[in-house]
Every structure is written in structure tokens, then in C-alpha cells.
Amino acid sequence: MNTDARTAIIILLKGIFYKKENEKAWAELTEGSFVSIKEYFEVIGLDLLIDEAEGYAYVKNKAIEEGEEVIPRLIQKRELSYKVSLLCVLLRKEIVEFDMQNENARVIISKEDIKKELLLYLPLKLNEVKISKEIDTLIKKVEDLGFLRRLKSDEISYEVQRSLKSFVDASWLNDFDKKLKEYQESELWS
């Protein structure tokens, strides 16, 4: 296995691999060593998922089939808090709305627009300074998950990463509107 293939494996083990991060390793992943990389991940209990149209790839734990030997899971599932889930859903909706108006373009959103979207679901009685700090923390968490990327040219804007579509799917998104209203009414934010 060559250096670019090994680089692709390492990037995938760290998280989501975006084509724009390393074009040579991406080419090796999708063309040159695809079969050997996929087989490598299967041996350690992972599935390789690639979305060539959107330009990203990631690995996840293989589903255990009936009768298969159970091996330890390499990737631990993390439960997202309500607030982080809410932000992910709102960003996913941004992608949907943007795609209906534009084709093959980056989804850019300002920090101020993110705050405006989140404020729609917050109780009005919360302290503005506290809310602002908490929203900044949420943005950082979603950025750490790889779903937001701060623009280098603009410190107050972010690119919504299209990989979010794989993690917040359409059926879950449809059901979440009802859940949001329930959370809003019960004021679970505070």
C-alpha cells in the first residue's frame, strides 16, 4: 500500500475525510487503492462510506449480522446534547433550503444568522450574555464534529459541511420539527 493510501486511512480514522483536504489521497481512496482500503476497514469492523458527488468519506462501525462473531467497536457512539442536535438540524435545514435555490455551491452562514436561528427556540427569559456564550460553545462543538468550518477569510462566517446530510437524514429531520415544538414548550433549554 502506498503513502497516499496510508494517508487516506489515517485521515479516515481521525474523522471525516474531505476531498479538498488532500486531493492525492482522495484519488487513491476513490480510484487507486479503493478495494484494499475498503478491505482493511472491513478487517477491523468498519464500513467505508464515500459520497463522491459531495466530496467526503467516513467510516462507521459495521452492522453485526446474525451469526457473526461480535468484535469490540472501534468507533464509540456519542450521544449529542439537545442543543447540539438542534444546531445540527438547523444547519441541515440550511443545506436543504440552499440546495433548492442554488446548485453545487458552498453553504455559507454567518455566526449572527446561526444565533438568530437558535434564538427562535430559546425561552425569552434567558440572559443575553449567557445565551451568546452558550451559542458560541455550541458552534465550537459542531465545528469540532466536522460539520462547520470557519472561513479563513471571514472570522464570523462558516461553511456548513455537506457531510452533515449523512448524519442528519431526511426522515429524522421531518420528525424533529415536532420534537422542537415540544422542547420549546417545555423550555428544556435552560
The pLDDT tens digits of the residues spanning 30-47 come to 988 889 999 999 988 899
Tally the C-alpha atoms within 13 A of residue 9's C-alpha that lie toward its C-beta.
18
Grid cell in block for residue 58:
467516513
Grid cell in block for residue 23:
486531493
> In angstroms, what CA-CA distances link 109 with 20, 72, 96, 140, 186?
19, 39, 13, 14, 29
pLDDT at position 103, please? 67
pTM score of the predicted model: 0.73
pLDDT at position 77, please? 73
pLDDT at position 119, please? 83
Q: Could you give all domains of the chain from N- to C-terminal order, each with its CATH number?
A: 3-61 (no CATH), 82-186 (1.10.10.2260)
Grid cell in block for residue 69:
462473531
pLDDT at position 89, please? 87
- CA dist., res. 26 & res. 56, Å (int): 9
- CA dist., res. 7 & res. 135, Å (int): 34
Q: Which residues of the chain have pLDDT under 70?
A: 103-104, 123-126, 170-190
Residue type for 29, please?
A: L
- CA dist., res. 45 & res. 72, Å (int): 8
Q: How many CB atoms lie within 10 A of CB 46?
A: 20
Q: Are strands 56-61 and 107-110 parallel, antiparallel or unpaired?
A: unpaired
